[in-house]
Amino acid sequence: MKVQGAVIKQPSGTFAVAVVKPAVLSSRRECASMQRELAPCFPGLPVVLMARDRYGAATYFGMADFVEFLSLVDPDCIPMKEYAFEECAVV
C-alpha cells in the first residue's frame, strides 16, 4: 500500500499530513484507527488526515492547531510525496 503524505514544519510544531479517502473522515473512530495505522510511517509525529471532495476542497482531521494551519494553506501547495506503507520509506 502506498500513502501520499508530507511532513510539515511550522512554528507550533512538526507534523505529518496523509491523504485518505473522504469516507474515512466520516467517522471519528475510523479517523483514529487510520492515524494509528499511519503512525509508523511518520515516527514521533502527529498525523493529520486529509481528504478531498470531488471538487478538490480539502477536509482535515487531527490536532486542532495543525488543522487550523492547514485550513489557511492551498492544499496544492503541500509538498506531498509517495510513501510505501510496508517499509514506510519514501518511494
Nearest CA to 5 out of 68, 60, 69, 63 is that of 60
Domain interval for residue 19: 2-90
Residue carrying C-alpha cell 487510520: 34
Q: For the domain that residue 24 is a member of, what is the CATH number?
A: 3.40.1350
Whole-prediction pTM: 0.89
**How many domains are contained in the chain?**
1
| Residues above pLDDT 90, as percent of the chain | 76
Q: In this predicted model, what pLDDT tens digit does every residue of 39-54 receive, in sequence order?
A: 888 989 999 999 999 9
Alpha-carbon dihedral 15, 12, 24, 2, rounded to 10 degrees: -20
Please report the pLDDT score of residue 49 as a whole number: 98
Joined grid coordinates for residue 77: 501547495
Angle at 72 between CA 71 and CA 77, to 5 degrees: 95
The dihedral sign for the CA sequence 32, 34, 37, 38: negative
Identify the DSSP state of 41: G
